[in-house]
Protein backbone atom coordinates (compact mmCIF):
# COMPACT_ATOMS: atom_id res chain seq x y z
CA UNK A 1 0.00 0.00 0.00
CA UNK A 2 2.87 2.36 0.80
CA UNK A 3 4.30 1.94 -2.70
CA UNK A 4 0.94 2.62 -4.33
CA UNK A 5 0.69 5.86 -2.36
CA UNK A 6 4.25 6.95 -3.12
CA UNK A 7 3.79 6.29 -6.82
CA UNK A 8 1.22 9.09 -7.03
CA UNK A 9 3.62 11.86 -5.94
CA UNK A 10 5.92 14.05 -7.99
CA UNK A 11 7.47 16.83 -5.94
CA UNK A 12 11.05 17.79 -5.12
CA UNK A 13 10.34 17.55 -1.39
CA UNK A 14 8.62 14.15 -1.50
CA UNK A 15 10.68 10.98 -1.89
CA UNK A 16 10.55 9.46 -5.37
CA UNK A 17 9.57 5.83 -5.88
CA UNK A 18 11.92 3.93 -8.18
CA UNK A 19 10.23 0.56 -8.11
CA UNK A 20 9.03 -2.43 -6.13
CA UNK A 21 10.71 -5.86 -5.90
CA UNK A 22 8.06 -8.55 -5.51
CA UNK A 23 9.77 -11.62 -7.02
CA UNK A 24 11.44 -12.71 -3.80
CA UNK A 25 10.78 -12.31 -0.11
CA UNK A 26 10.96 -9.89 1.53
CA UNK A 27 9.12 -7.51 -0.79
CA UNK A 28 11.15 -4.33 -1.12
CA UNK A 29 10.40 -0.75 -2.08
CA UNK A 30 13.18 0.98 -4.00
CA UNK A 31 13.43 4.75 -3.59
CA UNK A 32 15.89 7.39 -4.72
CA UNK A 33 19.21 7.43 -2.87
CA UNK A 34 19.51 10.08 -0.17
CA UNK A 35 23.14 10.56 0.80
CA UNK A 36 22.60 12.04 4.26
CA UNK A 37 20.00 9.56 5.44
CA UNK A 38 17.24 10.42 7.87
CA UNK A 39 16.92 13.97 9.15
CA UNK A 40 17.09 13.07 12.84
CA UNK A 41 20.37 11.16 12.41
CA UNK A 42 21.80 13.89 10.21
CA UNK A 43 21.03 16.56 12.82
CA UNK A 44 22.63 14.58 15.64
CA UNK A 45 25.78 14.08 13.58
CA UNK A 46 25.96 17.81 12.84
CA UNK A 47 25.28 19.18 16.31
CA UNK A 48 28.55 21.09 16.19
CA UNK A 49 27.73 24.55 14.89
CA UNK A 50 28.43 23.68 11.25
CA UNK A 51 24.85 24.19 10.09
CA UNK A 52 23.90 27.84 9.69
CA UNK A 53 20.52 29.18 10.67
CA UNK A 54 19.50 29.85 7.09
CA UNK A 55 20.27 26.25 6.17
CA UNK A 56 17.95 25.19 8.97
CA UNK A 57 15.24 27.54 7.72
CA UNK A 58 15.63 26.20 4.17
CA UNK A 59 15.28 22.62 5.40
CA UNK A 60 12.08 23.52 7.25
CA UNK A 61 10.83 25.34 4.16
CA UNK A 62 11.35 22.20 2.10
CA UNK A 63 9.42 20.03 4.54
CA UNK A 64 6.57 22.55 4.61
CA UNK A 65 6.52 22.64 0.80
CA UNK A 66 6.30 18.86 0.63
CA UNK A 67 3.48 18.78 3.17
CA UNK A 68 1.58 21.51 1.35
CA UNK A 69 1.79 19.39 -1.80
CA UNK A 70 0.56 16.25 -0.01
CA UNK A 71 -2.29 18.16 1.62
CA UNK A 72 -3.40 19.58 -1.72
CA UNK A 73 -3.29 16.05 -3.15
CA UNK A 74 -5.73 15.00 -0.43
CA UNK A 75 -3.38 12.97 1.75
CA UNK A 76 -2.82 12.95 5.50
CA UNK A 77 0.64 11.66 6.43
CA UNK A 78 -0.12 10.73 10.08
CA UNK A 79 3.53 10.02 10.90
CA UNK A 80 5.44 13.21 10.10
CA UNK A 81 8.64 13.20 12.16
CA UNK A 82 12.32 13.94 11.57
CA UNK A 83 13.00 10.20 11.33
CA UNK A 84 10.64 10.07 8.32
CA UNK A 85 12.32 12.89 6.41
CA UNK A 86 15.36 12.08 4.26
CA UNK A 87 18.19 14.45 3.35
CA UNK A 88 20.18 14.45 0.11
CA UNK A 89 23.72 15.69 -0.55
CA UNK A 90 22.48 19.26 -1.09
CA UNK A 91 20.57 19.25 2.23
CA UNK A 92 17.27 19.03 0.36
CA UNK A 93 14.68 17.42 2.63
CA UNK A 94 12.18 14.93 1.26
CA UNK A 95 9.21 13.46 3.09
CA UNK A 96 9.19 9.68 3.21
CA UNK A 97 7.59 6.71 5.01
CA UNK A 98 3.99 6.70 3.87
CA UNK A 99 3.05 3.55 5.75
CA UNK A 100 0.40 5.39 7.76
CA UNK A 101 -0.66 7.85 5.06
CA UNK A 102 -4.26 7.85 3.89
CA UNK A 103 -6.29 9.71 1.31
CA UNK A 104 -9.09 11.92 2.62
CA UNK A 105 -10.54 13.31 -0.60
CA UNK A 106 -13.77 11.36 -0.15
CA UNK A 107 -14.35 12.72 3.34
CA UNK A 108 -16.58 15.77 3.79
CA UNK A 109 -14.37 17.16 6.57
CA UNK A 110 -11.14 16.01 4.96
CA UNK A 111 -10.37 13.74 7.88
CA UNK A 112 -9.40 10.11 8.32
CA UNK A 113 -10.63 8.11 11.29
CA UNK A 114 -8.79 4.97 12.31
CA UNK A 115 -10.05 2.23 14.62
CA UNK A 116 -6.77 0.73 15.71
CA UNK A 117 -3.02 0.57 15.33
CA UNK A 118 -0.12 2.39 16.90
CA UNK A 119 0.13 6.15 17.17
CA UNK A 120 3.44 8.06 17.48
CA UNK A 121 2.24 9.96 20.55
CA UNK A 122 5.06 12.52 20.77
CA UNK A 123 4.28 13.82 17.29
CA UNK A 124 0.50 13.38 17.26
CA UNK A 125 -2.13 16.07 17.83
CA UNK A 126 -4.35 15.66 20.92
CA UNK A 127 -7.56 15.22 18.92
CA UNK A 128 -5.93 12.48 16.85
CA UNK A 129 -4.89 10.62 19.99
CA UNK A 130 -8.24 11.04 21.73
CA UNK A 131 -10.66 10.65 18.83
CA UNK A 132 -8.37 9.06 16.22
CA UNK A 133 -9.32 11.75 13.73
CA UNK A 134 -6.43 12.68 11.45
CA UNK A 135 -6.51 15.78 9.27
CA UNK A 136 -4.13 18.23 7.62
CA UNK A 137 -4.33 20.15 10.92
CA UNK A 138 -3.04 17.13 12.84
CA UNK A 139 -0.15 16.97 10.37
CA UNK A 140 0.49 20.66 11.14
CA UNK A 141 0.83 19.77 14.83
CA UNK A 142 3.39 17.12 13.84
CA UNK A 143 5.24 19.67 11.73
CA UNK A 144 5.59 21.87 14.81
CA UNK A 145 7.28 18.97 16.59
CA UNK A 146 9.55 18.45 13.58
CA UNK A 147 10.50 22.12 13.77
CA UNK A 148 11.45 21.56 17.40
CA UNK A 149 13.49 18.47 16.48
CA UNK A 150 15.36 20.41 13.81
CA UNK A 151 16.07 23.43 16.02
CA UNK A 152 17.25 21.18 18.87
CA UNK A 153 19.44 19.14 16.51
CA UNK A 154 17.69 15.83 16.93
CA UNK A 155 16.67 15.90 20.57
CA UNK A 156 13.87 13.52 21.45
CA UNK A 157 10.59 15.41 21.95
CA UNK A 158 9.56 15.37 25.62
CA UNK A 159 12.84 13.65 26.48
CA UNK A 160 12.37 10.52 28.61
CA UNK A 161 8.75 11.20 29.55
CA UNK A 162 6.34 8.31 29.25
CA UNK A 163 3.67 8.52 26.58
CA UNK A 164 1.01 8.87 29.25
CA UNK A 165 2.87 11.80 30.81
CA UNK A 166 3.19 13.47 27.40
CA UNK A 167 -0.56 13.21 26.84
CA UNK A 168 -1.35 14.44 30.35
CA UNK A 169 0.99 17.44 30.21
CA UNK A 170 -0.19 18.53 26.75
CA UNK A 171 -3.79 18.33 27.94
CA UNK A 172 -2.86 20.61 30.86
CA UNK A 173 -1.36 23.14 28.46
CA UNK A 174 2.33 22.24 28.44
CA UNK A 175 4.25 22.95 25.23
CA UNK A 176 7.85 22.16 24.36
CA UNK A 177 10.18 25.07 25.27
CA UNK A 178 12.27 26.94 22.76
CA UNK A 179 15.52 25.12 21.94
CA UNK A 180 18.73 26.95 22.75
CA UNK A 181 19.47 29.92 20.45
CA UNK A 182 16.27 29.47 18.44
CA UNK A 183 14.83 32.82 17.29
CA UNK A 184 11.56 33.56 19.05
CA UNK A 185 9.82 33.82 15.68
CA UNK A 186 10.43 30.12 15.02
CA UNK A 187 9.34 28.99 18.47
CA UNK A 188 6.17 31.03 18.19
CA UNK A 189 5.40 29.38 14.88
CA UNK A 190 5.79 26.04 16.65
CA UNK A 191 3.34 27.22 19.33
CA UNK A 192 0.84 28.15 16.62
CA UNK A 193 1.14 24.64 15.17
CA UNK A 194 0.35 23.30 18.66
CA UNK A 195 -2.86 25.25 19.14
CA UNK A 196 -5.32 23.01 20.99
CA UNK A 197 -8.07 23.99 18.52
CA UNK A 198 -7.15 22.38 15.22
CA UNK A 199 -9.18 24.96 13.30
CA UNK A 200 -6.95 27.73 14.64
CA UNK A 201 -3.67 26.20 13.52
CA UNK A 202 -1.95 27.65 10.44
CA UNK A 203 -2.22 25.75 7.19
CA UNK A 204 0.82 24.41 5.39
CA UNK A 205 0.30 27.07 2.73
CA UNK A 206 0.56 29.76 5.41
CA UNK A 207 3.55 28.12 7.08
CA UNK A 208 5.32 27.83 3.73
CA UNK A 209 4.71 31.48 2.92
CA UNK A 210 6.20 32.55 6.24
CA UNK A 211 9.31 30.39 5.83
CA UNK A 212 9.78 31.48 2.22
CA UNK A 213 9.76 35.08 3.35
CA UNK A 214 12.43 34.30 5.93
CA UNK A 215 14.54 32.64 3.23
CA UNK A 216 14.21 35.71 0.99
CA UNK A 217 14.77 38.23 3.78
CA UNK A 218 16.76 36.62 6.63
CA UNK A 219 16.81 39.81 8.72
CA UNK A 220 13.05 39.43 9.23
CA UNK A 221 13.62 36.40 11.46
CA UNK A 222 14.75 38.78 14.21
CA UNK A 223 12.39 41.66 13.46
CA UNK A 224 9.20 42.55 15.33
CA UNK A 225 7.09 41.74 12.30
CA UNK A 226 7.19 41.41 8.54
CA UNK A 227 4.98 42.82 5.86
CA UNK A 228 3.37 40.50 3.35
CA UNK A 229 0.50 41.35 1.04
CA UNK A 230 0.19 44.76 2.71
CA UNK A 231 -0.46 43.08 6.04
CA UNK A 232 1.79 43.05 9.07
CA UNK A 233 2.81 39.56 10.02
CA UNK A 234 3.62 39.36 13.71
CA UNK A 235 6.49 37.13 14.68
CA UNK A 236 4.43 36.03 17.64
CA UNK A 237 1.02 35.52 16.16
CA UNK A 238 1.66 35.53 12.41
CA UNK A 239 -1.71 37.26 12.22
CA UNK A 240 -2.26 37.50 8.50
CA UNK A 241 -3.51 35.52 5.51
CA UNK A 242 -7.13 35.69 6.63
CA UNK A 243 -7.77 32.83 9.03
CA UNK A 244 -4.33 32.46 10.56
CA UNK A 245 -4.70 32.69 14.36
CA UNK A 246 -3.28 35.46 16.48
CA UNK A 247 -1.60 34.85 19.84
CA UNK A 248 -0.43 37.02 22.67
CA UNK A 249 1.49 39.68 20.78
CA UNK A 250 -1.17 40.32 18.14
CA UNK A 251 -4.00 40.15 20.65
CA UNK A 252 -2.24 42.58 22.96
CA UNK A 253 -1.65 44.97 20.09
CA UNK A 254 -5.24 44.75 18.89
CA UNK A 255 -6.81 45.30 22.30
CA UNK A 256 -4.17 47.71 23.63
CA UNK A 257 -3.85 45.62 26.74
CA UNK A 258 -1.92 46.90 29.74
CA UNK A 259 -1.55 45.92 33.34
CA UNK A 260 -4.46 48.21 34.19
CA UNK A 261 -6.74 45.96 32.13
CA UNK A 262 -6.64 43.46 35.03
CA UNK A 263 -5.79 40.49 32.81
CA UNK A 264 -6.10 37.50 35.13
CA UNK A 265 -3.04 35.43 35.87
CA UNK A 266 -4.75 32.26 34.65
CA UNK A 267 -5.71 33.85 31.33
CA UNK A 268 -2.23 35.31 30.87
CA UNK A 269 -0.57 31.93 31.46
CA UNK A 270 -3.02 30.10 29.19
CA UNK A 271 -2.33 32.52 26.34
CA UNK A 272 1.36 31.73 26.40
CA UNK A 273 0.87 27.98 26.76
CA UNK A 274 1.74 27.81 30.47
CA UNK A 275 -1.66 27.21 32.02
CA UNK A 276 -0.19 24.32 33.99
CA UNK A 277 1.99 26.79 35.97
CA UNK A 278 -0.96 28.63 37.53
CA UNK A 279 -1.28 26.31 40.53
CA UNK A 280 2.41 26.63 41.49
CA UNK A 281 2.25 30.41 41.30
CA UNK A 282 -1.05 30.62 43.17
CA UNK A 283 0.38 28.49 45.97
CA UNK A 284 3.29 30.94 46.17
CA UNK A 285 0.87 33.84 46.59
CA UNK A 286 1.06 35.14 43.03
CA UNK A 287 -2.45 36.01 41.90
CA UNK A 288 -2.08 38.87 39.38
CA UNK A 289 0.00 39.56 36.30
CA UNK A 290 1.36 42.65 38.03
CA UNK A 291 2.81 40.41 40.75
CA UNK A 292 5.00 38.71 38.16
CA UNK A 293 6.72 41.97 37.23
CA UNK A 294 8.08 42.38 40.74
CA UNK A 295 9.51 38.87 40.80
CA UNK A 296 13.01 38.05 39.63
CA UNK A 297 14.25 35.08 37.66
CA UNK A 298 15.44 33.27 40.78
CA UNK A 299 12.13 33.92 42.57
CA UNK A 300 10.19 32.17 39.83
CA UNK A 301 12.61 29.25 39.78
CA UNK A 302 12.19 28.90 43.54
CA UNK A 303 8.44 28.46 43.04
CA UNK A 304 9.04 25.28 41.07
CA UNK A 305 9.02 26.63 37.51
CA UNK A 306 11.70 25.41 35.12
CA UNK A 307 14.05 27.77 33.30
CA UNK A 308 12.15 27.63 29.98
CA UNK A 309 8.84 28.48 31.66
CA UNK A 310 10.44 31.42 33.45
CA UNK A 311 11.91 32.72 30.20
CA UNK A 312 8.58 32.39 28.37
CA UNK A 313 6.84 34.36 31.13
CA UNK A 314 9.45 37.10 31.07
CA UNK A 315 9.38 37.36 27.28
CA UNK A 316 5.59 37.70 27.39
CA UNK A 317 5.80 40.34 30.13
CA UNK A 318 8.26 42.35 28.05
CA UNK A 319 5.75 42.38 25.20
CA UNK A 320 2.85 43.18 27.54
CA UNK A 321 4.58 46.18 29.11
CA UNK A 322 7.76 47.00 27.13
CA UNK A 323 8.56 50.12 29.17
CA UNK A 324 8.80 48.19 32.45
CA UNK A 325 12.17 46.93 33.63
CA UNK A 326 11.94 43.36 34.86
CA UNK A 327 13.86 42.50 37.99
CA UNK A 328 17.18 40.70 37.61
CA UNK A 329 16.70 40.08 33.91
CA UNK A 330 20.40 39.57 33.37
CA UNK A 331 21.61 38.87 36.88
CA UNK A 332 21.34 35.13 37.00
CA UNK A 333 24.01 33.67 39.33
CA UNK A 334 27.06 32.27 37.60
CA UNK A 335 26.52 28.75 38.93
CA UNK A 336 23.08 28.65 37.29
CA UNK A 337 24.27 29.66 33.84
CA UNK A 338 24.32 26.62 31.64
CA UNK A 339 26.58 26.39 28.59
CA UNK A 340 24.64 25.80 25.35
CA UNK A 341 24.77 22.20 24.17
CA UNK A 342 24.61 23.40 20.57
CA UNK A 343 24.08 26.58 18.65
CA UNK A 344 23.36 27.98 15.26
CA UNK A 345 26.26 29.60 13.48
CA UNK A 346 25.89 33.39 13.68
CA UNK A 347 24.09 35.04 10.80
CA UNK A 348 23.35 38.74 10.62
CA UNK A 349 22.51 39.16 14.30
CA UNK A 350 23.14 36.96 17.30
CA UNK A 351 20.15 34.69 17.82
CA UNK A 352 17.93 35.28 20.82
CA UNK A 353 19.37 33.21 23.66
CA UNK A 354 17.02 31.44 25.99
CA UNK A 355 17.73 29.12 28.86
CA UNK A 356 17.13 25.61 27.64
CA UNK A 357 16.00 22.42 29.26
CA UNK A 358 18.15 20.74 26.63
CA UNK A 359 21.23 21.67 28.63
CA UNK A 360 20.05 19.61 31.60
CA UNK A 361 18.32 16.76 29.79
CA UNK A 362 20.31 13.64 28.82
CA UNK A 363 20.78 13.22 25.09
CA UNK A 364 18.75 10.29 23.85
CA UNK A 365 20.72 7.88 21.70
CA UNK A 366 19.41 7.02 18.28
CA UNK A 367 19.44 3.34 19.21
CA UNK A 368 16.14 3.73 21.09
CA UNK A 369 13.52 1.77 19.22
CA UNK A 370 10.91 4.02 17.67
CA UNK A 371 8.27 1.33 17.72
CA UNK A 372 8.79 0.63 21.41
CA UNK A 373 9.44 4.13 22.72
CA UNK A 374 7.58 6.54 20.47
CA UNK A 375 4.37 4.64 19.75
CA UNK A 376 1.78 2.95 21.86
CA UNK A 377 -1.74 1.67 21.59
CA UNK A 378 -4.42 4.16 22.53
272 CB neighbour count, 10 Å cutoff? 23
Q: What does the alpha-carbon distance between residue 30 and residue 203 come to, in Å, rounded to a whole number?
A: 31
**Residue 77 near residue 101, CB atoms below 8 Å:** yes
Q: For residue 375, what is the DSSP state?
A: -
Q: What does the alpha-carbon distance between residue 58 and residue 60 come to, in Å, rounded to a whole number?
A: 5
3-state secondary structure 273-288: CCHHHHHHHHHCCCCE
Cis before 26 (ω within 30) = yes
* Chain centre to alpha carbon of residue 203: 14
Q: What does the alpha-carbon distance between residue 81 and residue 227 come to, in Å, rounded to a whole number?
A: 31
Beta bridge partners of 288: 264
Residue 97 is among the residues annotated as catalytic for this protein: no
Of 79, 139, 181, 374, which residue is the catalytic one? Answer: 79
- Evaluated on CA atoms 262, 264, 269, 272, the torsion sign reads negative
Q: Are strands 118-119 and 133-135 parallel, antiparallel or unpaired?
A: unpaired
Active-site amino acid positions:
79
Amino acid sequence: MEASIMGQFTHENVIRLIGVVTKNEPIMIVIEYMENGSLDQFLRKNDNGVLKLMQIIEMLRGIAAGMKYLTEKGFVHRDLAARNVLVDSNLLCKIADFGLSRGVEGSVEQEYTTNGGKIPVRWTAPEAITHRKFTAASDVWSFGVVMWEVCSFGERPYWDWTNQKVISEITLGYRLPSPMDTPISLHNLMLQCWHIDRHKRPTFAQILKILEEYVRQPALIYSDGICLDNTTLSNVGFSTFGTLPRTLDAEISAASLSLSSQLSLDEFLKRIGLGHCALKLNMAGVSRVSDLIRLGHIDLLSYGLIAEEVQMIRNALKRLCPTTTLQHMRNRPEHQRLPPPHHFSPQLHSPVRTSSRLATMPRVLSSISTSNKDSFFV
